[in-house]
Structure 1
Amino acid sequence: MNVEGGQPLLPVECEAFCQSLQKYDLRDVGSSSWSRQHEKLEKLNMQAIANAAAEESEFVKEFLINEGKYPMLIEDLLTTELWREKIFSQFIAVKFEPKITFPVYMVLYHEATLVNLLETTLYYQETCESCGDAILDLIDYCHRKLIWLSARSEEDLQTEVDAEDAEEKASALGPNMKELSSQDASIQFDIAIKCLSLLRYICDHLSVLPLSCSSRILNSLDFPVLLVEILQNSPWTKADNGKLQKYIDNKWTVITDSDRFKLTKTEGQIWLTLYKLLMDPDCMRKYELNGLRKNTLLKLRSHLNELMVDQLPILGDLHMYLERLSMMEAPASKQDLILEQMPEIRARLLEDNNGKFVTISKNQMKKFFDPSEETLKEQAKRWADTYNFDMLESLISEPAKCAVCGELATKRCSRCQNEWYCRRECQVTAWKKHKSICDMLYTAKQPLK
């Protein structure tokens, strides 16, 4: 692969990659051809991030639009989500213990790669238009993730009860599957946070999207009420050892007292989305306001203080709207007949694979996720080419953690540059398990003689 200026792709390579992207069935997830496409998407994602960060021409977006690949990316996203729900859950149920975790982790991370690529490029109106009717499925996908994000805060209030259940389930798993389950939870949280940005970009371009999008966002799924509940729960904030932390730039960051009330990007995305859905004339006309929705929206008033309005001045208009709303009676429910276009991709995937999930999981455990030594060596060469660890350090979703104990790590394996440890004792403990993959990655990086 040609790498210039620290960028993973050249425009000509990027165009060729976009042209080659294709759909994969659920049963093919994890196959060698699927893995090669994942590697292409990972490189496209890194290139898109690099272009956006440098404010350069975003040719990844242009090639994806020209090749009509956005509906395919959304279907790929939903297929990966279904794999996690139906196939990965089967791995856990049968206590599958893979010899190496990376192939399974790569599928779990594939979902995050696709969400990241969409988040980076859906900022533009032409990208949203290019999604076509598949945007309805993306809206529903965001809704499922934000429901999970809202429920996550509620579950945190029951840690004593949940901890016992989690410990009992974890004890039944082997160390590799236990590690994968922990990584999956971290990936899902990061995805849910990114879905807040995806939703904001979709709402910004409702005027050019299918007509059903606005009614689905406003009434069928009631995103305004859901966003209020997420603001109330504030899942991107937590207290650790008496210190306030917020999830900023894909990692938990300690917040000083002076920055306690400073809006983060995540909070800003929610407020901008709410402003669009509640203040846009077309959205106001379509939103079916009732007593429950009115009372929920009025909870926003407690957040709209002077510090908040100073940071986002447009929220002053929202504050005045809420004050007027508090003095109004909610209108009677409409009885009009409404015809709504429904999302089709997830429904089709469920129908096509109905009753096949157990069989698919058994086949994939044997064929794709319990590979031979020769297959592992072949894959290791591609992994070393795809995952440029020096570049990924700037994109990593959270600080490196020790592969043994989970503590913050500062030491990395000098041979493969892939595994992290907090101290030498942990590195020695992990060496027996890590040696085989370390040898393969190290060998794959060596130049051919």
Structure 2
Amino acid sequence: MDQQEKLDRINLQAHQSAQSRTDEFVVDALVSSAKISLLLHQQLVIEVWKGKVLDHLEEHLVNSVDSLTCYQLLYSEAVLANLLEVCLYHEHACQAMSEDALLELCDWCYRKLTFLNTCSNKVAAQEPGVIEYHVCCEPANAQDLLARQPKEDLQEQKLEVEFKTALCALTIVRYLTDHVNSVALGLATRLISTNDTISALIPLLERPPWRRRVKKQSQGYQDGQWQKLEPEDRLKLTLHEAQVWLALSNLLVDPSCRAKVLQQGTHYSESLLRLRRHMNEILLDQLPVLADLQRVLDELALGCAGVPYAANSTLIIEQVPMIRARILEGKDWRALAEEQKRNFFGAKAAAVSELRMQSMLRNLEAMLDMQPDLAADKENAAGKSNVESEVKVKVWSQVKEGVYELWTDMVLRIDSSKAPEPLEGVQVQGTRPLPCNGKAVAIYGGSTAEARFTLPVASTQSACTTELALVGWLTIGHLATDGFAVQLKLLRADKPQLRDKTEGGWLAYHIAGGAITVRDTGKSGEAPEKGNPRGPLDF
């Protein structure tokens, strides 16, 4: 239970860092300590427990254990999936996983996609006493909830957690397709040939499980709950639909992946052409990147994308992941269920339930402490001035002429107690270096300023200290037009770790701080005064 509470805290902190666009130290810590694969192992253990042990414990849990404890047991799978979702957004987190763990992750995601396709829009089972899957049922009212049997509650909880976990798996699939060319060699084969992920994704566009109709009202599953869809929003792309489209685009547009897809045969190409009916201008306006996917589908329709030549060979090599097989090997599930019934769900169940409630309260307090709005309310109640105290900076890398991709973003805090002078000796660790060509956007007080830049690169790692200056400055914004100007201090790394894919040089400059100057508009009817230095910027 203590481990579960810590996982809950870690998951909350990881999401808070991602949403606030601050330093994601939780992800870095998990990567540096090689714990990403361990998270997957724990996820597989929970999946096996739900499939093999829970059925033997179900009657005992319904009759002797409170519903809160049951829900937390089930919800631990969703917590781990949520944490993996945050971590695997980053390429270096995917690269930190072992190849065996990556293949197991592909298999786990495929099982969750199968669940979305088979249990989302139909009755879970045609047996008396088994409830319909909650995404297609009308929400129960208070009277129905009171009349519901404990076993029905447990079934509903299982389906709810399974649905949330499957949606996390859908996002993870999209992240894996993003990084398919930079991780294990067998990942693409596992996604396309072994598991046929594409055939599992296409039905999700035809019958999306995150949409339903209740009493002639359209609803969509957003932000963890069912919400009413207004008529003007029905053609708006949901987050889950976007993940499906992006995953399909990655698997079909990338040349190496497309070659594996076309080797499946002409019947496979015919199933891919079902995507064309969903391609329209409204979709392309929301996801312009799908224009390449539309071109690939047009080539398939015209027969221009022929099947690539593959030499016949009698030798077939495929890596088989063994993590789940080891978990399943040699277990007596009924005996294990009896042991857990005595040790964890027996006489001490009431005391454990009380501890779980206290753990939930502590997690709730931690969530409240992470809310910036509540912190601002406390400052306002204490009489503090509501002055902007941070600058958001986004850096975009120039992929080609006129095309940029998001490189990094960060939040710089304004320290008004320091004098507005150059910051010397500032050390920054863990930040991503700036690209050699790109643009930077600064956001302060609702205003936005933009600047394009070109930075020098080192020809080799060892030549960095001799070819590049130690300190550089990047100015974003102009007082006269933008109302503020941000000067970012760039510090050179002695041993750069990242190389530019286009230029070939080593990227050495990191943002180490800076200063901001805000235009003082003066009193009403007077001319604006000169810029007012607010202070240095720190991480």
Match of 1:297 among 272, 284, 305: 272
Deviation at 1:384, TM superposition (A): 3.0
| 1:214 matched to 2:188 | yes
For 2:86 and 2:256, the matched residues in 1 are separated by 27
For 1:333 and 1:95, the matched residues in 2 are separated by 57
For 1:393 and 1:100, the matched residues in 2 are separated by 30
TM value normalised by structure 2? 0.61
Superposed counterparts of 1:236-275, under 5 Å? 236-275=210-249
* Aligned residue in 1 for 2:339: 363
Higher mean C-alpha deviation, range 335-344 or range 381-390: 381-390
* Aligned residue in 2 for 1:286: 260
Return the structure number with greater strand share.
2
Deviation at 1:208, TM superposition (A): 2.2
| 1:148 matched to 2:115 | yes
Deviation at 1:87, TM superposition (A): 1.2
Match of 1:92 among 58, 82, 92: 58
* Aligned residue in 2 for 1:323: 298
**1:379/1:148 CA distance change after superposition, 3 Å:** closer
SS at match of 1:252: strand
**Residues 278-332 of structure 1: CA distance to partner in whole angstroms, max 9, x if unpaired?**
0001111222231221111000000001111111112222112212202228749
Contact 1:290–1:332 (CA<8 Å) still a contact in 2? no
Deviation at 1:92, TM superposition (A): 2.9
Amino acid of the residue matched to residue 66 of structure 2? I
For 1:333 and 1:94, the matched residues in 2 are separated by 59
For 2:329 and 2:352, the matched residues in 1 are separated by 33
Contact 1:137–1:346 (CA<8 Å) still a contact in 2? yes
SS at match of 1:207: coil
Contact 2:130–2:152 (CA<8 Å) still a contact in 1? no
**1:381/1:93 CA distance change after superposition, 3 Å:** closer
For 2:182 and 2:195, the matched residues in 1 are separated by 20
**Residues 341-369 of structure 1: CA distance to partner in whole angstroms, max 9, x if unpaired?**
1121111111142xx11111111122112
Contact 1:80–1:107 (CA<8 Å) still a contact in 2? no
TM value normalised by structure 1? 0.73
For 1:138 and 1:377, the matched residues in 2 are separated by 34
* Aligned residue in 2 for 1:384: 361
For 1:209 and 1:332, the matched residues in 2 are separated by 24
Match of 2:16 among 50, 54, 60: 50
Contact 1:48–1:117 (CA<8 Å) still a contact in 2? yes
| 1:162 matched to 2:162 | no
**1:370/1:269 CA distance change after superposition, 3 Å:** same
Contact 1:237–1:245 (CA<8 Å) still a contact in 2? yes
Amino acid of the residue matched to residue 362 of structure 1? E
Superposed counterparts of 1:110-129, under 5 Å? 110-129=76-95
For 2:17 and 2:4, the matched residues in 1 are separated by 20
Amino acid of the residue matched to residue 343 of structure 1? P
SS at match of 2:21: coil
Amino acid of the residue matched to residue 195 of structure 2? L
Deviation at 1:225, TM superposition (A): 1.6
Contact 1:103–1:369 (CA<8 Å) still a contact in 2? no
Amino acid of the residue matched to residue 12 of structure 2? M
Bigger radius of gyration among the two: 2
Amino acid of the residue matched to residue 205 of structure 1? H
**1:163/1:389 CA distance change after superposition, 3 Å:** farther
SS at match of 1:206: coil
* Aligned residue in 2 for 1:225: 199
* Aligned residue in 2 for 1:202: 176
For 2:224 and 2:87, the matched residues in 1 are separated by 18
Amino acid of the residue matched to residue 386 of structure 1? N
Deviation at 1:139, TM superposition (A): 0.8
For 1:357 and 1:197, the matched residues in 2 are separated by 32
For 1:261 and 1:123, the matched residues in 2 are separated by 27
For 1:391 and 1:179, the matched residues in 2 are separated by 29
**1:235/1:379 CA distance change after superposition, 3 Å:** closer
**Residues 86-132 of structure 1: CA distance to partner in whole angstroms, max 9, x if unpaired?**
11122236785223233332221110000000111111011001111
| 1:66 matched to 2:32 | yes
Return the structure number with greater helix share.
1
Match of 1:341 among 315, 319, 323: 319
Higher mean C-alpha deviation, range 385-394 or range 306-315: 385-394
What residue ranges of structure 2 are gaps of 5+ in the alignment?
Answer: 133-146, 372-539
Amino acid of the residue matched to residue 385 of structure 1? R
Deviation at 1:377, TM superposition (A): 4.2
**1:367/1:207 CA distance change after superposition, 3 Å:** same
**1:245/1:381 CA distance change after superposition, 3 Å:** closer
For 1:342 and 1:392, the matched residues in 2 are separated by 45
For 1:186 and 1:258, the matched residues in 2 are separated by 28
